[in-house]
């Protein structure tokens, strides 16, 4: 019943804000537009611009919908500018909860009066987002910090929405043709883990510390310090930074920041996180990214809000790099083979047909100037094409795909002529060379050698155990083979007895006939 009530709330919200006007251009959704129009009533929202109506609707529906709007705001190549500008307000201007309530929550979490920890704490929030809000403060030791505190009761709201997503995924899986291929149930399970991790600020603090170690002394990315003594599951205290929001392009220009270099550096940071560290910031919308004022020609990013972190295993890394390089080189045959090798499409997929279809989709795109090609759009096209060959969604890569869309949207917002391909390709080629180089493999052997030496004394015993298991298996197989042989002998004997009986019966019948005649 809770899910039905939530679904009805979503319907009423969409109808109230007259979101059917966003669907009028799409004939396949006319039935949904009509349903929303019927429930709109005399809403005054009709007087608002469409972008504001959509923003207010997503904001009122809570964190999961707000995050969807955050993603849309970065895709100015997909979303009309008036809508993208309005949705950008979801990044750090969500309606806050009362400051007095926030300070009480902080004090309760830390277990002592705020005056014993801070010189001052601002009651009005510095920023407010979907899951938490931030208050500026100063420690007794004099450092400027920010205090992040989660919204009260947000876990119950998220639990309801996640339950609804599970129901929708199950419905699609059962009722819609090809629904199983989408693997929505797995995607929702992965998202559930991510969103509930985001509620635990201790997890975010740990992610922040790890990202800071990965980029220690980096000229490209700075990660603020975490004050662990004042972190709890619903409160986190970290260093306050004074950068320029990455979305404020005119302010960046006025500060003398090299915008082109800034956009290219953002792409390099992303690929470094994915392929070198296998630990990437997966919520890189503009509200979480700032730029230092101190580095103009070689800009330095500042990363905030590390609640959502993604990682890839070595197999995923290698697959992704090889596939992207093959796409860059327009080697459609190799792309098709990689899809089969990695299990994205069934093993019996006809490679030639898959290759031909992908070429048909990609070639018109590659005829454009390279700087005008949207890598995100190309990935979507490839996905739609591969779905005709029963390609399954890979839940482990869904977060990465979403982050890649964010990064490209952010880069193009900074520098519309950003050539993602030209920036990424040298990085990937160098990563491949390093991965395959003899020196790198020798280094891996040297790293593993102490572990191998430590395990060496156990090798003979492990070999004996393996041989014993093999012998037992062989004996079992032999015993089963003996039983089968005995059964076969019994069958042959039965056949001989049956044949003999039949022969004797026929002879008896012949003797009787002869006697009668």
Task: Specify whether 240 is located in the same domain as 265.
Answer: no
More confident residue, 298 or 477: 298
Mean pLDDT, range 313-317, rounded to an integer: 80
Task: Specify whether 246 is located in the same domain as 293.
Answer: no
For residue 188, what pLDDT is reported? 75
30 belongs to a structural domain: yes
For residue 202, what pLDDT is reported? 95
283 part of the active site: yes
Task: Specify whether 280 is located in the same domain as 210.
Answer: no
Task: Specify whether 334 is located in the same domain as 280.
Answer: yes
Residue 245 predicted with pLDDT over 80: yes
Query: Minimal CA–CA distance to 304: which of 354, 245, 261?
Result: 245
pLDDT band at 501 (very low <50, low <70, confident <90, very high): very low
Q: What angle do CA 72, 78, 82 make, to 5 degrees?
A: 70
Q: What angle do CA 142, 143, 144 make, to 5 degrees?
A: 120
Return mean pLDDT, the chain.
Answer: 78
How buried is residue 98: exposed, middle or buried, by Cβ count under 10 Å (0-12/13-18/19+)?
exposed
DSSP H helices, 329-419, are 332-341, 351-366, 375-387, 395-414
Task: Specify whether 116 is located in the same domain as 154.
Answer: yes
Q: Which of 283, 305, 316, 419 is catalytic?
A: 283
365-399 per-position pLDDT tens digit: 777 766 666 776 676 667 667 767 777 666 566 67
Task: Specify whether 285 is located in the same domain as 419.
Answer: yes
For residue 340, what pLDDT is reported? 84
Question: Last residue of a domain, which of 216, 251, 286?
Answer: 251
Query: Minimal CA–CA distance to 387: which of 184, 182, 142?
Result: 182
* 156: three-class secondary structure by DSSP: helix
Looking at the 3D structure of the chain, how many domains does it have? 4
- Rounded CA-CA distance 297/262 in Å is 9
Could you tell me the two tokens for 433? Answer: 């060379």
443 belongs to a structural domain: no
Phi/psi-derived region of residue 217, left when phi > 0, alpha when psi is between -120 and 50, beta in every other case: left
116 belongs to a structural domain: yes
- Rounded CA-CA distance 274/400 in Å is 9
Which residue bears the tokens 């076969």?
Answer: 488
**CB contact set of 375 (below 8 Å; sequence gap of 6+):** 404, 408, 420, 421
Q: Which residues partner with 133 through β-bridges?
A: 128, 149
Task: Specify whether 141 is located in the same domain as 243.
Answer: yes
353 secondary structure, DSSP code:
H
Could you tell me the two tokens for 136? Answer: 């500026």
For residue 502, what pLDDT is reported? 33
Decide: 85 and 422 in contact? Cβ < 8 Å.
Answer: no
Range of the domain at 242: 99-251
Mean pLDDT, range 326-331, rounded to an integer: 84
12-64 per-position pLDDT tens digit: 888 888 877 777 665 555 666 677 777 666 666 667 888 888 888 888 888 77
Residue 505 predicted with pLDDT over 60: no
506 belongs to a structural domain: no
For residue 504, what pLDDT is reported? 33
Question: Last residue of a domain, which of 235, 251, 267?
Answer: 251
Phi/psi-derived region of residue 369, left when phi > 0, alpha when psi is between -120 and 50, beta in every other case: beta
- Rounded CA-CA distance 32/43 in Å is 18
For residue 30, what pLDDT is reported? 65
For residue 41, what pLDDT is reported? 64
Decide: 37 and 372 in contact? Cβ < 8 Å.
Answer: no
Distances in Å between the Cα of 503 and the Cα atoms of 499, 510, 513 are: 6, 11, 15
Decide: 425 and 431 in contact? Cβ < 8 Å.
Answer: no
505 belongs to a structural domain: no
- Whichever domain contains 234, its CATH number is 3.30.200.20
**CB contact set of 423 (below 8 Å; sequence gap of 6+):** 264, 267, 268
Task: Specify whether 247 is located in the same domain as 329.
Answer: no
Residue 262 predicted with pLDDT over 90: yes
Residue 336 predicted with pLDDT over 60: yes
Task: Specify whether 210 is located in the same domain as 62.
Answer: no
- Rounded CA-CA distance 116/106 in Å is 13
Largest CA distance in the chain: 129
Distances in Å between the Cα of 209 and the Cα atoms of 70, 142, 155, 303 are: 25, 21, 24, 12
- Rounded CA-CA distance 411/405 in Å is 10
Paired sense of beta strands 301-303 and 221-222, if any: parallel
Question: Last residue of a domain, which of 55, 90, 125?
Answer: 90
Query: Minimal CA–CA distance to 365: which of 354, 378, 353?
Result: 378
| Mean pLDDT comparison of 87-91, 94-98, 137-141, highest-scoring range | 137-141
Task: Specify whether 244 is located in the same domain as 283.
Answer: no
Task: Specify whether 242 is located in the same domain as 263.
Answer: no
237 belongs to a structural domain: yes
516 belongs to a structural domain: no
Residue 149 predicted with pLDDT over 90: yes
Find how far residue 95's CA is from the centre of its chain: 27
Task: Specify whether 260 is located in the same domain as 293.
Answer: yes
- Rounded CA-CA distance 155/381 in Å is 36
HSE value, Cβ hemisphere, 13 Å, CA-based, for 125: 23
Sign of the Cα pseudo-torsion (59, 60, 63, 68, in order): negative
355 belongs to a structural domain: yes
Mean pLDDT, range 412-428, rounded to an integer: 79
């Amino acid at each position: 019943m809770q899910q039905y009530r939530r679904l009805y709330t979503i319907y009423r919200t969409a109808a109230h804000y007259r979101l059917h006007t966003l669907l009028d251009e799409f004939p396949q959704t006319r039935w949904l537009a009509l349903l929303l129009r019927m429930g709109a009533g005399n809403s005054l929202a009709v007087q608002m611009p469409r972008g504001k109506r959509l923003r207010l609707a997503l904001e009122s529906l809570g964190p999961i919908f707000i995050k969807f709007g955050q993603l849309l705001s970065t895709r100015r190549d997909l979303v009309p500018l008036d809508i993208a500008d309005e949705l950008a307000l979801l990044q750090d201007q969500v309606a806050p909860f009362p400051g007095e309530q926030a300070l009480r929550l902080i004090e309760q979490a830390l277990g002592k009066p705020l005056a014993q920890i801070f010189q001052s704490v601002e009651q009005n929030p510095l920023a407010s987002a979907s899951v938490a809000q931030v208050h500026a403060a100063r420690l007794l030791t004099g450092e400027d910090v920010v205090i992040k505190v989660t919204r009260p009761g947000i876990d119950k709201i998220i639990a309801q929405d996640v339950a609804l997503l599970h129901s929708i995924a199950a419905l699609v899986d059962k009722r819609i043709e090809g629904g199983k291929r989408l693997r929505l149930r797995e995607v929702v399970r992965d998202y559930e883990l991510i969103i509930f991790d985001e509620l635990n600020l201790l997890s975010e603090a740990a992610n922040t510390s790890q990202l800071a170690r990965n980029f220690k002394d980096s000229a490209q990315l700075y990660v603020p310090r975490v004050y662990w003594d004042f972190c709890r599951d619903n409160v986190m205290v970290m260093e306050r930074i004074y950068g320029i929001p990455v979305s404020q392009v005119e302010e960046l220009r006025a500060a003398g920041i090299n915008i082109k270099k800034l956009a290219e550096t953002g792409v390099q940071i992303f690929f470094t996180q994915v392929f070198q560290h296998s630990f990437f910031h997966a919520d890189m919308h503009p509200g979480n990214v700032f730029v230092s004022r101190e580095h103009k020609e070689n800009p330095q990013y500042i990363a905030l809000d590390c609640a959502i972190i993604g990682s890839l295993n070595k197999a995923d890394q290698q697959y992704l790099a090889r596939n992207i390089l093959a796409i860059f080189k327009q080697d459609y045959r190799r792309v098709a083979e990689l899809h089969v090798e990695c299990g994205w499409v069934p093993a019996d997929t006809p490679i030639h047909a898959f290759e031909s279809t992908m070429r048909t989709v990609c070639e018109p795109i590659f005829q454009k100037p390279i700087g005008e090609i949207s890598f995100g759009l190309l990935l979507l096209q490839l996905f739609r094409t591969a779905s005709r060959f029963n390609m399954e969604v890979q839940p482990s890569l869904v977060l990465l795909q979403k982050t890649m869309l964010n990064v490209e949207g952010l880069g193009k917002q900074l520098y519309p002529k950003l050539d993602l391909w030209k920036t990424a390709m040298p990085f990937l080629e160098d990563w491949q060379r390093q991965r395959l180089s003899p020196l790198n493999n020798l280094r891996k052997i040297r790293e593993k050698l102490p572990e191998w030496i430590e395990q060496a004394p156990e090798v003979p015993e492990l070999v004996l155990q393996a041989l014993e298991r093999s012998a037992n298996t062989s004996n079992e197989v032999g015993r089963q083979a003996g039983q089968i042989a005995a059964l076969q002998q019994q069958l042959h004997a039965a056949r001989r007895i049956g044949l003999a009986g039949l022969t004797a019966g026929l002879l008896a019948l012949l003797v009787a006939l002869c006697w009668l005649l």
